[in-house]
Amino acid sequence: MRLSGPCTFDSTLCKNEGRCIDEPTIEKGFKCICSSQFQGEYCEEGISYMEETTEQIETKEITPESSDYFLS
């Protein structure tokens, strides 16, 4: 006899159309497989590509190669 996991009983465990997978080896009994636009334990966090891009640009601007600009 096979027991059903949490995903069988509650299809809303994973948010934002994340896919629920029964995983008896972990404490909560399931894990969420998120789409490329979401992350987090329950796919509850949206991924903002704009923030990552802005951070990369800011980091790139503060490099030793650009330090000549600050010297007078």
Query: In the chain, what are the domains?
Result: 6-70 (2.10.25.10)
- pLDDT tens for each residue of 4-60: 899 999 989 999 999 999 999 999 999 999 999 999 999 999 998 665 455 555 555
Q: What pTM did the predictor assign?
A: 0.59
SS3 20: strand
pLDDT of residue 37: 95
Q: Which amino acid is at 71?
A: L
Cβ neighbours for 72, distance < 8 A, ≥ 6 positions apart: none
pLDDT of residue 46: 96
Q: Answer for the pair 16, 45: CB distance below 8 angstroms, yes or no.
A: no
